[in-house]
Amino acid sequence: MSSYHTIVIGSGPGGYVCAIRLAQLGHKVAIVEKYDRLGGTCLNVGCIPSKALLDTSEKYHQAQHEFAHHGISIKEASLDWKNVMGRVQKDVVQKTCDGIQFLMKKNKITVHHGHGSFVDANTIKVTKSDGSSEEIKGDKIIIATGSKPSSLPGIAIDKERIITSTEALSLKELPKKMIIIGGGVIGVELGQVYARFGTEVTIVEYAPRLIPTMDADLGKELAKVLIRQGIKINLGSMVKKVERKGKSSVEVTFEKEGKEETLKADYCLVCVGRRAYTENLNLEKLSIATDKAGRIEVTNNLSLPNYSHIFAIGDVVRGAMLAHKAEEEGVFVAEVISGEKPHMNYNLIPGVVYTWPEVASVGKTQEELKKDNIPFKSGSFPFKASGRARASNESDGFIRVYAHKETDEILGVHMIGPRCADMIAEAVVAMEFRASAEDIARICHAHPTYTESLKEAAMAATSNRAIHA
């Protein structure tokens, strides 16, 4: 039986990053992956392919609708669906996953392909796809098995016409009509992908606004842009029924403002969140309990309460279901195991929506500040006042900075606009060092850039003295 210092179950961004950090710190590490390709949801059926499709659809949309505004005329942009999906799978997903394979080799991490489950507290059974199995031993075990798309009661996912994000990233055809249940991050991203490709998209969201966990005005601004792009949005709508009608169509019935409505489409995409994937790990054997969402309870150093040598990271534990949060936890656990004392600042994990305009935020939302009775001031700057944004015809969106009323410390930064996904990093760095709004306002930003808008918003927050607004 092979034995290791640490066995990591799951090769997503949490698991593989953890394995590499452990190897860097001198440990003998094995990683167990159920699928043939490493990388987990993020690389195979999540972040990476969705960003590839977002980018393709963005370019197509620009060719169709934006080029003319720039004075570029093309005859007619057309879409070759097979090549669209071919690029995503071969050029993007396969190459990224190969990269992980290479990193495992480089760091001398043993990869065991097969489904991992606990035999006892130190033994993992790896069941391969051909049914054969082997057992491996580890002094430490890390559960990094991630999550799967979840559904609502009464909605049966058939993976053909009633689908989840996983299927939506590898459809054989371009849907004509698509109803998306859920206006959260995944729903709006995929909704925009298909809308830009030409699909008639309708979003049905239960909450009164899109991306409801983020600062309220971001959802409102995003809805404005999406509606302009032709997406129909039904907010405050409760889905009653999703029915397959014949071979190639579905019907979705929902209640909005007390009235029932039924819509027909050829696809229904269910984006109502994700559920921790902890089934079949044989956790019952060790009496490890999971909560309603399938998550495992962990201590502050991410070990299990009753097993100090077993750790859990990423989507299987509390906190945001984000790849970068899982990565941070992976590094954290690897260092804790090695006797170091890293720290994680859960308040400063940025959230990003990769629509265009992009949405990004870090720190407290206005709602949270009010709820916690923290005295704050706010400053906003619209991209339509940014020279750089105008040059690119990107004037949707704004940046908002919340700062403490007395100390001026930045408490939250929320932005929607061009390249916000990248720009949020500046806010995270500043907040990690507890910068004040005035600090940002006094730091030189290159001109003309989008990042000047953060500086302007910071000036507005400091003492309402934005220069360009």
Partner 1 sequence: MSSKELVKVPSVGESIAEVTIASWVKKSGDFVKQDEILCELESDKATVELPSPFTGVLTILSPEGETVPIGHAVADVDTSATAGASASSAATAPVEAPKAETKQEAQTNYAQGHPSPAAKKIMDEKNISQVTGSGVGGRVTKEDALKASSSSPAPKAPAIKAEPGSIRREKMTSLRKTISKRLVEAKNTTAMLTTFNEVDMSAVMKMRSKYKEQFKEKHQIGLGFMSLFTKAASMALMEFPAVNAQIDGTDLVFHDYVDMGIAVSAPKGLVVPVVRNSQDLSLAGIEREIARLAAKARDNKISIDDMQGGTFTITNGGVFGSMLSTPIINIPQSAILGMHNIVERPTAVNGEVVIRPIMYLALSYDHRIIDGRESVSFLKKVKELIEDPARMLLEV
- List residues with catalytic annotation: 447
**Closest Cα partner for 412 from 384, 370, 465?**
370
Q: Does 108 bind partner 1 (CB under 8 A)?
A: no
3-state secondary structure 286-328: HCCCECCCCCECCCCCCEECCEEEEEECHHHCCCCCCHHHHHH
Measured CA to CA, the distance from residue 175 to residue 194 in angstroms comes to: 8
Bridge partners (DSSP) listed for residue 405: none
Task: Give the residue with the Cβ less far from partner 1, 315 or 409.
Answer: 409
Name the amino acid, one letter, at 200. Answer: E
* Residue among 251, 439, 448, 449 that touches partner 1 (CB under 8 A): 439
Minimum distance from residue 404 beta carbon to partner 1 (Å): 8
Q: Which stretch binds partner 1 (CB under 8 A): 110-118, 170-178, 316-324, 402-410?
A: 402-410
Q: Does 407 bind partner 1 (CB under 8 A)?
A: yes
Task: Give the residue with the Cβ less far from partner 1, 25 or 63.
Answer: 25
Minimum distance from residue 214 beta carbon to partner 1 (Å): 24
Q: Does 433 bind partner 1 (CB under 8 A)?
A: yes
Minimum distance from residue 459 beta carbon to partner 1 (Å): 15
Q: Does 463 bind partner 1 (CB under 8 A)?
A: no
CA distances 285 to 122, 226, 282, Å, are 12, 48, 6
**Closest Cα partner for 197 from 267, 150, 263, 141?**
267
State the binding string over 284-323 for partner 1 (x if CB under 8 A, else -). -----------------x----------------------
Q: Look at phi and psi of residue 438 and say left if phi exceeds 0, alpha if psi is from -120 to 50, else beta.
A: alpha
Q: Which stretch binds partner 1 (CB under 8 A): 39-47, 79-87, 94-102, 337-345?
A: 337-345
Exposure b/e, 322-340, CB count within 10 A at least 16 = b: bbbbbbbbbbbbbbbbbee
Element (H, E) at 464: none
Q: Which stretch binds partner 1 (CB under 8 A): 35-43, 273-281, 333-341, 381-389?
A: 333-341
* Residue among 121, 336, 349, 374 that touches partner 1 (CB under 8 A): 336
Q: Which stretch binds partner 1 (CB under 8 A): 89-97, 166-174, 182-190, 428-436?
A: 428-436
Task: Give the residue with the Cβ less far from partner 1, 26 or 375.
Answer: 26
Task: Give the residue with the Cβ less far from partner 1, 25 or 103.
Answer: 25
Minimum distance from residue 457 beta carbon to partner 1 (Å): 20
Query: Cβ–Cβ contacts within 10 Å for residue 2, how many?
Result: 14
Q: Does 347 bind partner 1 (CB under 8 A)?
A: no
Q: How many CA atoms lie within 13 A of 366 on its CB side?
A: 13
Task: Give the residue with the Cβ less far from partner 1, 261 or 439.
Answer: 439
Measured CA to CA, the distance from residue 397 to residue 283 in angstroms comes to: 46
* Residue among 345, 347, 393, 464 that touches partner 1 (CB under 8 A): 345
Task: Give the residue with the Cβ less far from partner 1, 270 or 435.
Answer: 435
Q: Does 133 bind partner 1 (CB under 8 A)?
A: no
Task: Give the residue with the Cβ less far from partner 1, 259 or 341.
Answer: 341
* Residue among 229, 338, 395, 449 that touches partner 1 (CB under 8 A): 338
CA distances 101 to 52, 284, 376, 453, 455, Å, are 20, 32, 48, 40, 41
Measured CA to CA, the distance from residue 193 to residue 57 in angstroms comes to: 6
Measured CA to CA, the distance from residue 204 to residue 237 in angstroms comes to: 6
Contacts of 80 (CB under 8 A, 6+ apart): none
Measured CA to CA, the distance from residue 235 to residue 257 in angstroms comes to: 10
Q: Does 27 bind partner 1 (CB under 8 A)?
A: yes
Q: Is the peptide bond before 448 cis (omega within 30 degrees of 0)?
A: yes
By CB under 8 A, the count of residues binding partner 1 is 22
* Residue among 90, 240, 264, 434 that touches partner 1 (CB under 8 A): 434
Token reading at 194 = 């298909």
Cα pseudo-dihedral 216, 183, 344, 315, rounded to 10? 160
* Residue among 343, 373, 375, 444 that touches partner 1 (CB under 8 A): 343
Q: Does 125 bind partner 1 (CB under 8 A)?
A: no
Q: Does 432 bind partner 1 (CB under 8 A)?
A: yes
Q: Does 25 bind partner 1 (CB under 8 A)?
A: yes
Q: Which stretch binds partner 1 (CB under 8 A): 48-56, 175-183, 435-443, 447-455?
A: 435-443
Measured CA to CA, the distance from residue 311 to residue 442 in angstroms comes to: 43
Q: Which residues contribute to the site for partner 1 (CB under 8 A)?
A: 5, 25-27, 301, 336, 338-343, 345, 404, 407, 409, 432-436, 439
